[in-house]
Structure 1
Amino acid sequence: MAKKNILKYIILGLLEKQELTGYDIKKIFEDEIGEFWRSNHSQIYPELRKLQEQKLISFRVEIVGNKLEKKYYTLMDDGKAKLNEWIFVPTPELLATKDEFILKLYFIDDKKDGKLEKMFEEQIMLHQEKLEHLKFRMQTIFASQKEKELNYGHYLILNHAINREEGYLLWLTDQYIYIEKNEEL
């Protein structure tokens, strides 16, 4: 099966909300979308060019300062139609998540392996930090009921991310306790 170009649809969706520069899109990946989908900076600009060539988006140039040109991209009608078509196509498969920590655990054979405790300590710390960040984002972005209503999908995925991190932390903590006590996992 051919791999879908999801980046295309993410960019179309972002541009449906507002006019953005390539840099703005990169920042949204870092601050928001990166919680559930990753894309490299080097992928965004070529995708913007392709979308423009396909007449799904357009841009206007604004001069900033003396001569710095900024391209502001907007969604065209065909782009909106393509985005809506994608949103309403069923998502019948679950994709494997890429979790390097889980992959490393797979290769540990002995429950008394000395590396386990440090590995779990590190993951607990990382996931606690991520959970705090997500909760802060929730308070910042959705301080009012009106914000939830205006950006309900974003609210749902942020809520999902918080629940995911809480569940992951619970599992990590339970396993860490067993490892410390050297009990059956």
Structure 2
Amino acid sequence: MAQKNLLPYILLGLIEDKPKTGYDLMKEFETEIGEFWSVKHSQIYLELKRLVSNEDIKSETGYFGNKIEKTYYSITEKGQNKLHKWQYSYEDHLSVNKDEFVLKLYFIKNKNEPRLAELLNEQLHLHKAKLAHLNERYELLFSDKKSKESQYGHYLILEHAISRETEYVNWLTNALSEI
């Protein structure tokens, strides 16, 4: 099954509450959205052009409070309808997780292969670092009850990511103890 292009919906969702520049949107991918979705910067600008030409968003270019010309993108009624239709649609299948580490692990024949410990240790290091980062984000964004309530979906995603990384670290630690 071909993978659906979700970038238009992500961008519509990010500008739904307030207009943003392409730079603002890139920053969202580098911080929050990047925890569970990746995209190249060039894809963002290409998709913004498409959304403007489809009249899902509109752009306004000008000097806003400083000497640098900026283009702000805001959602139109048509874009709002498209976003809400997508938000209320449901898929009847799970997305395929493409993980190069898991693919390499699949081809390891036995626990005595020399590259196994190195592969597992490298992943353990990476996942511990990611877990530390996620915990820092959690403290920064959701240390009070009010912020949890105002961005509950984001809170749930971050909770899920912390649980996932904690389990991944535990799994890698156990795998290392078996070799």
- What TM-score does the superposition give when structure 1 sets the normalisation length? 0.92
Residue 133 (structure 2) aligns with:
133
Distance 1:3 1:172 in 2: 30
Greater mean alpha carbon deviation, residues 102-111 or residues 55-64: 55-64
Residue 46 (structure 1) aligns with:
46
Distance 2:3 2:164 in 1: 26
Residue 167 (structure 2) aligns with:
167
Residue 21 (structure 1) aligns with:
21
Q: How does 1:1-185 map to 2 (within 5 A)?
A: 1-63=1-63, 66=67, 68-179=68-179
Task: Give CA deviations for 1:51-71 in whole Å, capped at 9, x if unaligned.
Answer: 1111111121122654x4210
Distance 1:135 1:18 in 2: 27
Task: Give CA deviations for 1:108-134 in whole Å, capped at 9, x if unaligned.
Answer: 112100111111111111100000100
Task: Return the offset for 1:161.
Answer: 0.4
Percent of aligned pairs with the same amino acid? 47
Flag the 1:2–1:171 CA change in 2: closer, same or farther, 3 A.
Answer: closer
Aligned residues: 178
Amino acid at match of 1:138: Y
Runs of 5+ unmatched residues, structure 1: 180-185
Amino acid at match of 1:96: V
Q: Secondary structure of the residue that 2:95 maps to in structure 1?
A: coil
Amino acid at match of 2:40: N
Amino acid at match of 1:110: N
Distance 1:117 1:135 in 2: 27
Task: Return the offset for 1:2.
Answer: 4.3
- What TM-score does the superposition give when structure 2 sets the normalisation length? 0.95
Amino acid at match of 1:114: P
Task: Return the offset for 1:172.
Answer: 0.5
Amino acid at match of 2:97: T
